[in-house]
Amino acid sequence: MNAVPNELILAPSLLAGNHAALGASLAEIACAGLAWAHIDIMDGHFVPNISFGPKTVADLRPLATLHFDTHLMLAEPHKYIEAFARAGANGLTIHIEPQYPHRDTLRAIRALGLKSGIALNPGTPPEAVRDLLADADLVLAMTVHPGFGGQHFIGSVVEKIAALARWRVEGGHSYRIEVDGGIAADTALACRRAGADTLVAGTSFFKAADKPAFAAAILGK
């Protein structure tokens, strides 16, 4: 059974880039031959850290044609969907844990012409998003507790990836399965084997001296 219908993608996370020169960090992603940049948005409420806002995304937009895979770690993401769409995000991923209208927000993201994503913290069971899968273009299984880069990969999430991959086949869905946090060559392989097709890497990508070689290793090329 081929449970991975989507092309494998590596999306480096700008959180580990240079926040005073994000344009240069974007250029490093493009120069490595990659098509996606992962942009972490944090509000200091849903997660205990603060990162970028819509103006950051808007100012980065003219600098690259990369797909902006925008991860909203916000307590009230539904209030900011239009702002990030206007700023030029290509995909918006919202979390299941806070209380707000999840399905309506996923549908609003699609109605704006963007890819919709639903994210789960490491401790959130996959069943929490099961009835939203038809409204999602991407399901993000966090492999660290969200808020900070440079943490250790939580191996128990691999079972959740496998469940999401199984449900994708059983339900005839084509959502991407993304993993985010502690991704390097070894952990990427475990995630890919379980069915993940979209790999976020922050620290490991920006630390790599030879980024095209790092990308090839992560993608198994």
Of 201, 215, 176, nearest in space to 11 by CA: 201
Name the minimum Å distance from CB 191 to ligand DX5.
Answer: 12
Cβ-proximal residues to 193 (8 Å cutoff; 6+ apart), any chain: none
Distance CA 183, CA 204 (A): 7
Distance CA 31, CA 158 (A): 30
| Residue 178 lies near ligand DX5 (rule: CB under 6 A) | no
CA-CA-CA-CA torsion sign (73, 107, 69, 195):
positive
Position among 84, 181, 198, 217 found at the interface with ligand DX5 (CB under 6 A): 181
Position among 17, 91, 126, 149 found at the interface with ligand DX5 (CB under 6 A): 149
Residues 160-199: x where in contact with Zn ion by CB under 5 A, - otherwise, as a string:
--------------------x-------------------
CA-CA-CA-CA torsion sign (95, 100, 103, 109):
negative
Position among 4, 10, 15, 26 found at the interface with ligand DX5 (CB under 6 A): 15
Q: 71 or 102, CB closer to ligand DX5?
A: 71
Asked if 59 is an active-site residue, the reply is no
Name the minimum Å distance from CB 111 to ligand DX5.
Answer: 25
**CB-CB contact of 171 with 133 (8 Å):** yes
> In terms of DSSP H, where are the helices of the chain?
22-31, 54-60, 81-87, 102-111, 157-170, 185-194, 203-207, 211-219
Stretches 13-21, 89-97, 154-162, 211-219: which one binds ligand DX5 (CB under 6 A)?
13-21
Asked if 40 is an active-site residue, the reply is yes
Q: 69 or 137, CB closer to ligand DX5?
A: 69
**CB-CB contact of 62 with 27 (8 Å):** no
Residues in contact with ligand DX5 by CB under 6 A are 13, 15-16, 38, 40, 71, 144, 146-147, 149-151, 180-183, 200-204
Residues in contact with Zn ion by CB under 5 A are 40, 71, 180
